[in-house]
Amino acid sequence: MQTPQTVTVALTGASGLPYGLRLIDTLISAGVRVWVLYSQAAQVVAKQEMGLHLPSRPSEVQQWLQQRTGASAQQLAVFGREEWFAPVASGSNPADAMVVCPCSMGTLAAIAHGMSDNLIERAADVSIKEGRKLILVPRETPLSVIHLENMLSLARLGAVILPPSPGFYTHPASVDDMVDFVVARILDQLRVPHTLTPRWGEPAKE
């Protein structure tokens, strides 16, 4: 897989919204085009975890993200949960890769069972059927047998299950460092170059 030109990033209602927003930031900085999807539950998480008010209107979220990242309208677009004419809704115009970050257990279950009740689920379904990279960042603990079986089903279909489990061998000094560790692993899977964390066996950044 080459460095993707377009990545869909979906934000759902699991804990871990800082991972998703940091991912969007780094993808934009790397020159990748980003299509953003978000659930109503993600709005609740944004308020609780980060004190952020994500508007219900995708156009307002798009404006906010463009101001946050410096992206143009051509590089970053936000689509509503039932915007069925969005590019990601069809296999004729899928993104090169999709990341659900964070991924709730409800969203993971819906994807595992081929549900397409909203644009996030449909975009993931398209990614699977078109053989595109699909990365799920599930945040839940402990994991039930249902959760594990759903993850196994998706892994067998080729999806990458990437739990947000930061390592400590890089000696993180802040929460941001721990967020960067997880985002770095996502970028590695996408083959997007980055300098967020040192590589194993290489000196730490100063």
31 in a structural domain: yes
Evaluate the omega torsion of the peptide bond into residue 87 and state whether it is cis, within 30 degrees of 0. no
Enter the pTM of the model: 0.95
Place of tokens 């990033």: 9
Q: Where are the alpha helices (H) located in 40-144, listed in sequence order?
A: 40-50, 58-69, 105-112, 119-129
Spatial contact of 140 and 175, defined as CB atoms under 8 Å apart: no
CA distance 21 to 134: 18
> Nearest-CA neighbor of 152 among 164, 136, 139?
136
Q: Give, as one character, the DSSP assignment of residue 93.
A: S
Per residue in 42-88, pLDDT (tens digit) is 999 999 999 999 999 999 999 999 999 999 999 999 999 999 999 99
Q: What is the mean pLDDT of residues 193-201?
A: 90
176 assigned to some structural domain: yes
Asked if residue 196 is part of any domain, the answer here is no
**Residues flagged as binding site for FMN:** 13-15, 39, 104-107, 139
Q: 171: phi > 0 → left, psi -120 to 50 → alpha, else beta; which?
A: left
Answer yes or no: is 128 within a domain.
yes
DSSP state of 158: T
Q: Report how many domains make up the chain.
A: 1
Containing domain of residue 68, as a range? 6-190
Sign of CA dihedral 169, 175, 180, 186: positive
Residue range 127-147: mean pLDDT, rounded: 97
Q: Has residue 200 been placed in a domain?
A: no
pLDDT of residue 172: 94
- Per the CB < 8 A criterion, the answer to whether 26 and 196 are in contact is yes
* 204 found inside a domain: no
The answer to whether the beta carbons of residues 34 and 63 sit under 8 Å apart is: no
pLDDT band for position 1 (50/70/90)? low
Q: How confident is the model at residue 201 (pLDDT cuts 50, 70, 90)?
A: confident
* SS3 assignment, position 188: helix
Q: Tens digits of per-residue pLDDT, 15-49?
A: 999 999 999 999 999 999 999 999 999 999 999 99
Q: Is residue 203 part of a domain?
A: no
Residue whose pair of structure tokens reads 């008010």 in the numeric block? 53
Q: Indicate if the pLDDT at residue 150 is higher than 90.
A: yes
Specify the pLDDT at position 2. Answer: 74
Helix axes 17-29, 175-190, angle to 10 degrees: 60
Which parts are annotated binding residues for dimethylallyl phosphate? 169, 185
Decide if 1 is inside a domain. Answer: no
Identify the CATH number of the domain in which residue 49 sits: 3.40.50.1950
Q: Which residues carry a binding-site annotation? A: 13-15, 39, 104-107, 139, 169, 185
